[in-house]
């Protein structure tokens, strides 16, 4: 069976193209060997289940791994202590029964599993679970402790989808029991290591249900060791996965270049990496402009995959936009970061901010928060620019009325875009009594640009230039790139420095022509478009 790129459920190296995660498994193994109890809390579709599955196999020679999934429990199982104890015992027994033998497709258990099943404590737990007569957590943990004492190898307990237990007091009581056994582990047999995996940190797990309600954050899981293992993919990780694909398909792609491109857009977010690759393999290759794999696995093909990804509906994007409705203050902060270039200091005591970082929508850079990756950034720009209010604005309608005037022989004519923007801007806003803010000027140009390139081109904001004075937009349109600097006019000297900065920036993109859009609020301004030679380059400047 041919391998594929997988974006649904756990990955299997026999079936799917995967990043080599051995290094991170070794790092996690070191925590297990040290007897640590810890939580793997990462954003949605970040490879947690895949990691747990691989870790189970990685540890099997030295440990008996009990791998549970709390998705198997129902809300009724958390009604009270007895219900939870019986439900937990049932899935524990089931995990031991199947174990590694089920993974191998064998009918007979391995030696370690057979010995575990033969222990008196396990027999008691199994019988009690079948009869559903475990009276509560105390009896459950007595059996679990006896099982740990009798087992031929140390036991490692892994619980996936621990979020399913959110907001349940009985689960907090369960954690308290785990902590009690952990603290007395020198005299009371218990698990070698306990690993809880989910999106939400257990300490903040009650934030999940009611974002506007008072939160309980005094979780008994204060024994958890720090989990600092990097689970995002590096460009080198992505290149290793692409090499596997290239060995099978012989596309002739530049593996390193393609890996860098994918990393630039995703910052290694596992789902986004795999989704771009899957789109290239299954949607782009064989389509109109990309008749085969060789033409698809190029920069132009990857840009097409990015365009499809940004425009599609999926649970990850639904979660992102859903949090904007749940947390209006987060929505406002993201707007200020995107359009005003504001620096927002990370404060872990701001629960909504910590939640956004925990969910993977924001990241911490030099003590400030930033949008986690370019895919999320463009999706958020589109979100803010395609509201009913935005699409009903006069500047949006002006651009959308006659899109064909901006395209000449299949090429985007950026000079015409700027010239028409100046014309439309002056007619719509020229008589405004009050000057608007800098971020509003940026928003209006992006509103104008959006319907022109929508469906054909991509754009993003170069993060290093997003600040209160300057913002560089990079537009990709059918294989061509355009760099547009947006800024506020602050005098000729400042403007000349900006021209030099843009010229240097063009070197990075190997371009000979760049574009500037200046907002001039002076009384003696000269609106219009002009060309400025800078060495062997040309800058096209529009002033409104």
State the average pLDDT over residues 386-409.
85
Q: Place 98 in a pLDDT band, splitting at 50, 70 and 90.
A: confident
- DSSP secondary structure letters along 335-352: HIIIII---EE--TT-HH
In this structure, of 127-131, 373-377, 383-387, 410-414, the range with the lowest mean pLDDT score is: 127-131
Helix ranges, 156-289 (H): 169-183, 235-249, 255-266, 270-279
Q: What pLDDT is attached to residue 447?
A: 92
Give percent of the chain with pLDDT exceeding 70: 89
Is the per-residue pLDDT at 188 higher than 90?
yes
Q: What pLDDT is attached to residue 213?
A: 47
State the average pLDDT over residues 455-465.
82
Distance separating alpha carbons of residues 319 and 50, to the nearest angstrom = 21
Q: Place 462 in a pLDDT band, splitting at 50, 70 and 90.
A: confident
Instruction: Please answer whether residues 56 and 108 qualify as being in contact, where contact means their C-beta atoms are separated by less than 8 angstroms.
Output: no
Q: Of 248-262, 365-379, 529-543, give the range with the top mean pLDDT.
A: 248-262
Q: What pLDDT is attached to residue 111?
A: 63
Tens-digit pLDDT profile for residues 41-54: 898 899 999 999 99
Q: Place 99 in a pLDDT band, splitting at 50, 70 and 90.
A: low
Q: What pLDDT is attached to residue 207?
A: 45
Q: What pLDDT is attached to residue 203?
A: 65
Closest CA to 470 of 383, 340, 360: 340
Q: Place 107 in a pLDDT band, splitting at 50, 70 and 90.
A: very low
Q: What pLDDT is attached to residue 129?
A: 77
Q: What pLDDT is attached to residue 433?
A: 54
In this structure, of 174-178, 196-200, 273-277, the range with the lowest mean pLDDT score is: 196-200
Angle, CA 57 vertex, CA 56 and CA 61 arms, to 5°: 100
Q: Is 363 left (phi over 0), alpha (psi -120 to 50) or beta?
A: beta
Instruction: Please answer whether residues 192 and 158 qualify as being in contact, where contact means their C-beta atoms are separated by less than 8 angstroms.
Output: no
Instruction: Please answer whether residues 233 and 212 qualify as being in contact, where contact means their C-beta atoms are separated by less than 8 angstroms.
Output: no
In this structure, of 91-105, 264-278, 301-315, 500-514, the range with the lowest mean pLDDT score is: 91-105
Distance separating alpha carbons of residues 498 and 231, to the nearest angstrom = 39
Tens-digit pLDDT profile for residues 494-537: 556 566 677 777 877 888 899 989 887 766 668 899 998 888 88
State the average pLDDT over residues 327-348.
90
Q: What pLDDT is attached to residue 209?
A: 39
Q: What pLDDT is attached to residue 191?
A: 97
Backbone φ and ψ for 96, nearest 5 degrees, come out as -70, -40
Instruction: Please answer whether residues 108 and 123 qualify as being in contact, where contact means their C-beta atoms are separated by less than 8 angstroms.
Output: no
More confident residue, 191 or 128: 191
Q: What pLDDT is attached to residue 1?
A: 73
Is the per-residue pLDDT at 218 higher than 80?
no
Q: What pLDDT is attached to residue 238?
A: 98
366: which 2 tokens?
A: 């030099």
Q: Of 92-106, 193-207, 266-280, give the range with the top mean pLDDT.
A: 266-280
Q: Which helix (H) or strand (E) holds 485?
A: strand 480-488
Helix ranges, 105-133 (H): 111-118, 120-131
Angle, CA 144 vertex, CA 139 and CA 149 arms, to 5°: 125
State the average pLDDT over residues 155-173.
87
More confident residue, 15 or 355: 15
State the average pLDDT over residues 229-247.
97
Is the per-residue pLDDT at 17 higher than 90?
yes
Distance separating alpha carbons of residues 88 and 138, to the nearest angstrom = 13
Is the per-residue pLDDT at 317 higher than 90?
yes
Distance separating alpha carbons of residues 258 and 279, to the nearest angstrom = 14
Q: What pLDDT is attached to residue 109?
A: 57
Instruction: Please answer whether residues 64 and 154 qualify as being in contact, where contact means their C-beta atoms are separated by less than 8 angstroms.
Output: yes
Give percent of the chain with pLDDT exceeding 90: 56
Give the torsion sign (CA, 522, 528, 529, 531). Answer: negative
Q: Place 228 in a pLDDT band, splitting at 50, 70 and 90.
A: very high
More confident residue, 436 or 417: 417
Q: Place 100 in a pLDDT band, splitting at 50, 70 and 90.
A: very low
400: which 2 tokens?
A: 């959308």
Q: What is the pTM of this model?
A: 0.90
Q: What pLDDT is attached to residue 4?
A: 97
Distance separating alpha carbons of residues 333 and 491, to the nearest angstrom = 30
Q: What pLDDT is attached to residue 486?
A: 86
State the average pLDDT over residues 200-213.
56
Closest CA to 279 of 253, 306, 316: 306
Tens-digit pLDDT profile for residues 76-89: 999 999 999 999 99
More confident residue, 432 or 460: 460
State the average pLDDT over residues 410-434.
87
Mean pLDDT, the chain, rounded, equals 87
In this structure, of 42-56, 406-420, 480-494, 511-525, the range with the lowest mean pLDDT score is: 480-494
Closest CA to 346 of 327, 365, 321, 330: 365
309: which 2 tokens?
A: 């990804």
């Amino acid at each position: 069976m041919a391998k594929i790129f997988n974006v649904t459920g756990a990955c299997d190296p026999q079936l799917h193209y995967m990043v080599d995660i051995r290094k991170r498994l070794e790092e996690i193994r070191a925590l297990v060997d040290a007897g640590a109890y810890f939580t793997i809390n990462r954003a949605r579709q970040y490879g947690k289940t895949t990691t747990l599955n691989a870790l189970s196999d990685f540890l099997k020679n030295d440990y008996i791994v009990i791998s549970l999934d709390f998705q198997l429990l129902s809300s009724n199982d958390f009604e009270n202590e007895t219900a939870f104890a019986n439900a937990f015992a049932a899935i524990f027994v089931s995990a031991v029964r199947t174990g590694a033998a089920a993974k191998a497709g064998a009918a007979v258990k391995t030696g370690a599993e057979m010995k575990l099943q033969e222990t008196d404590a396990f027999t008691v737990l199994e019988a009690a679970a079948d009869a559903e007569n475990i009276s509560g957590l105390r009896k459950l943990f007595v059996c679990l402790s006896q099982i740990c004492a009798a087992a031929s190898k140390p036991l490692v307990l892994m619980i996936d989808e621990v979020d399913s237990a959110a907001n349940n007091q009985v689960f907090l009581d369960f954690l308290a029991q785990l902590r009690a056994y952990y603290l007395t582990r020198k005299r009371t047999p218990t698990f070698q290591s306990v690993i809880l995996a989910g999106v939400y940190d257990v300490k903040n797990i009650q934030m999940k249900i009611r974002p506007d309600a008072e939160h309980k954050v005094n979780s008994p899981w204060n024994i958890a060791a720090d989990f600092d293992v990097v689970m995002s993919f590096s460009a080198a990780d992505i290149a290793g996965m692409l090499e596997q694909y290239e060995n099978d398909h012989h596309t002739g792609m530049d593996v390193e270049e393609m890996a860098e491109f994918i990393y630039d857009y995703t910052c290694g977010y596992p789902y986004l990496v795999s989704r771009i690759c899957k789109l290239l393999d299954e949607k782009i290759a064989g389509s109109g402009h990309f008749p085969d794999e060789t033409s698809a696995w190029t920069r132009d093909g990857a840009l097409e995959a990015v365009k499809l990804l940004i425009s599609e509906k999926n649970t990850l994007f639904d979660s992102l936009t859903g949090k904007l409705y749940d947390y209006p203050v987060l929505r406002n902060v993201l707007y200020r970061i995107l359009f005003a270039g504001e620096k927002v200091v990370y404060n872990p005591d701001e629960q909504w901010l910590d939640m956004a970082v925990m969910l993977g929508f924001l990241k911490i850079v030099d003590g400030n928060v930033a949008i986690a990756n370019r895919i999320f950034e463009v999706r958020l720009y589109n979100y803010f620019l395609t509201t009913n209010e935005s699409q009903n604005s006069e500047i949006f309608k002006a651009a959308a009325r006659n899109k064909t005037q901006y395209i000449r022989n299949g090429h985007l004519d950026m000079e015409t875009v700027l010239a028409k923007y100046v014309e439309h801007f002056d007619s719509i806003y020229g008589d405004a009594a009050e000057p608007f803010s800098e971020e509003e000027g940026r928003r209006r140009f992006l509103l104008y640009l959006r319907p022109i390139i929508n469906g054909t081109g991509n754009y993003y904001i170069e993060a290093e230039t997003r600040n209160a004075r300057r913002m560089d937009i990079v537009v990709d349109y059918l294989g061509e790139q355009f760099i547009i600097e947006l800024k506020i006019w602050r005098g000729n000297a400042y403007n000349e420095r900006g021209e030099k900065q843009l010229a240097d920036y063009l070197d990075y993109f190997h371009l000979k022509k760049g574009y500037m859009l200046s907002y001039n609020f002076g009384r003696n301004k000269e609106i219009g478009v002009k060309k400025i030679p800078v060495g062997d380059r040309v800058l096209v400047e529009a002033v409104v």
